């Protein structure tokens, strides 16, 4: 996921103002601007070489899990909106990069969901393990 994509996801997910006692209201544009600085200037050192991460949020960055969770939530909604058999999903749970779905469907219908998911975003690939 690109920084622009992550920033848009956070911007859409945040309300206009946040009330975080005891701080005064903070406008979401300030939060998005700060996240932009973090994501665009995401530098790290590996093997004595300096790099600027161009795609995604860095592992180890404090805000990365929450930013990516917001975007993955949006992506799952988009993917499930395309899935013709979404009424066969009995339960959907997700934690970070892992998810679990309980279906009342045949394997062909389940594979169709993963075909949709894997065609939805060029940088994301979903795997599955089917058990009866």
Could you tell me which residues come within 8 angstroms of residue 6 by beta carbon, excluding any fewer than 6 positions away?
35, 39, 56, 57, 67, 68, 70, 71
Structure confidence by residue, pLDDT tens digits, 23-51: 566 777 888 898 888 888 887 788 999 88
Compute the mean pLDDT over every residue in the chain, rounded to the nearest whole number: 84
* Secondary element (H or E) of residue 93: strand 89-95
Overall average pLDDT of the 98-104 stretch: 87
Task: Reply yes or no on whether the pLDDT at 54 is more than 60.
Answer: yes
Q: Is the pLDDT of residue 21 over 70?
A: no
Mean pLDDT of 3-9: 86
In this predicted structure, the answer to whether residue 16 has a pLDDT above a threshold of 90 is no
1 by Cβ neighbours in 10 Å (0-12 / 13-18 / 19+) ranks as: middle
């Amino acid at each position: 996921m690109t920084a622009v994509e992550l920033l848009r996801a956070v911007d859409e997910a945040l309300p206009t103002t946040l009330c975080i006692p005891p701080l005064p209201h903070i406008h979401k544009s300030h939060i998005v601007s700060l996240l932009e600085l973090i994501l665009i200037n995401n530098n790290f050192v590996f093997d004595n070489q300096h790099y600027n991460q161009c795609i995604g949020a860095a592992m180890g960055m404090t805000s990365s899990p929450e930013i990516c969770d917001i975007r993955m939530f949006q992506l799952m909604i988009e993917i499930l909106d395309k899935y013709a058999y979404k009424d066969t999903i009995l339960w959907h749970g997700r934690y970070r990069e892992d998810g679990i779905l309980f279906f009342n469907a045949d394997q062909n219908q389940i594979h169709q969901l993963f075909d949709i998911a894997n065609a939805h975003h060029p940088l994301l690939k979903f795997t599955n393990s089917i058990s009866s």
